[in-house]
A = this chain, B = another copy of it.
Amino acid sequence: MPGSRRRQVTLSDIAASCGVSRATVSLVLRQSPLVNAQTRSRVEAEFKRVGYVYNRAAASLRTRRSSSVALVVNDLSNPFFAEFAAGVDEALAGAGYVTLLGSTGESAERQQAVLLSLMEHDPAGVILSPAEGSDTLRVRQAIGMRAPVLVFNRELRDSGWDQLSLDNADGAHQATQHLLQWGHRRIAFFGGHAGSSSCRQRREGYAQALQGAGIEIEPQWLVETAPTRLEAAAQAGALFARERAPTAAVCYNDAVALGLMLGLQARGRVPGADFAVTGFDDIPEAALSVPPLTTLAADPRARGRQAAQLVLARIGGNAGSENAATQLQESLAAAPAHTVVPVRLIVRASTCAPARP
């Protein structure tokens, strides 16, 4: 019923109306065994009666223990990251932390602003999926030593922070291998910015697989595009500009692969019948495209949970030292860990034998 106002009720109010001291109420709040059972229930009843809500900000001001974690993600509208974010939030909530969200829209500038703004809210940790073109130094400058950081998905060179990433090289290797087994010999690597670390790693795995098969890569097999469906569709033609055109393509990711398939169809080619395509990520659409896309699955939601676990480990890791400052020191001192998670090939109908001309 809009109408009942008055300022919010605090621990002092409770103390007053229960006839005990603020300290006692505080002990009740924290489930201390010190307080008498009768007192406890009296106070707890009052909590309910007046609808008391805890002010965590005030508490962590005193304790110097924050209960939030910042999640900075480059593109929420990408289902891969949305799933990731859901996983992060799930695990953080389970551990009693709240998620501070920041999205950067893949802009290093916005990322900087977002980080600065988030740091003012004193997160206990940061999970960062860096925008393309992030500068390690600037990011460091924004975060300083104030919180442990987990870098996800892209590299941040020499940051000295923990990192969680997919086994990009191995994934691309698997995809290429798969195409080789179908009998392809002319295989392109399509899409992505060669500057980005994930693209570089995927290209490496691809190159290694071809090398292992004794195949030399033609320059025209390497096509760069923005990692979007649209750009990919537009660039499809580049594959067929010259002789020795490829019969298959390992794509940077699913978005690019879906775009390429559209582009192929526009040229009268039939992906999955006379041209083979693989993706990366296994976004939900991959299973529904025509033809369904052979791709590499990484289970982004599980990655999100994992990322959360990793920062939480840095944050709370050392149960031995209760002192928050010391804890931070120790955890920051431990050597940064680089966790690489395997990806698995999901074979669908977009891969096929090379067309016999």
Measured CB to CB, the nearest residue on chain B to A76 is B86
Enumerate chain B residues within 8 angstroms of A96, measured Cβ to Cβ. 117
Q: How many copies does the complex hold?
A: 2
Interface membership of A211, Cβ < 8 A = no
Interface membership of A301, Cβ < 8 A = yes
Residues 34-70 of A, flagged 1 when their CB comes within 8 A of B and 0 if not, give 0000000000000000010111111011000000100
Chain A, interface residues (CB within 8 Å), range: 35 or more
Q: Given the complex of chains A and B, what is the CA–CA distance between A82 and B78 in angstroms? A: 8
Interface membership of A270, Cβ < 8 A = no
Would A99 and B102 count as touching, CB distance under 8 A? Answer: yes
Residues 83-121 of A, flagged 1 when their CB comes within 8 A of B and 0 if not, give 101100110010010111111010000000110111111
Measured CB to CB, the nearest residue on chain B to A289 is B288
Q: Given the complex of chains A and B, what is the CA–CA distance between A117 and B70 in angstroms? A: 16
Of the stretches A140-148, A170-178, A234-242, the one at the interface is A140-148
Enumerate chain B residues within 8 angstroms of A56, measured Cβ to Cβ. 120-122
Would A83 and B77 count as touching, CB distance under 8 A? Answer: yes
Enumerate chain B residues within 8 angstroms of A332, measured Cβ to Cβ. 2
Enumerate chain B residues within 8 angstroms of A54, measured Cβ to Cβ. 120
Enumerate chain B residues within 8 angstroms of A301, measured Cβ to Cβ. 77
Can you list 29 pairs linking A and B with CB atoms under 8 Å apart?
A1-B160, A4-B145, A5-B145, A7-B325, A8-B146, A53-B120, A57-B60, A57-B122, A68-B121, A71-B101, A76-B83, A77-B79, A77-B82, A77-B83, A77-B86, A79-B79, A79-B82, A85-B101, A89-B102, A89-B103, A93-B117, A98-B101, A98-B121, A99-B102, A101-B101, A258-B288, A285-B285, A285-B288, A288-B288
Given contacts A93-B114, A98-B102, A98-B118, 10 further A-B contacts (CB under 8 A): A5-B145, A53-B116, A53-B146, A56-B120, A57-B61, A61-B61, A77-B86, A89-B102, A93-B113, A101-B101
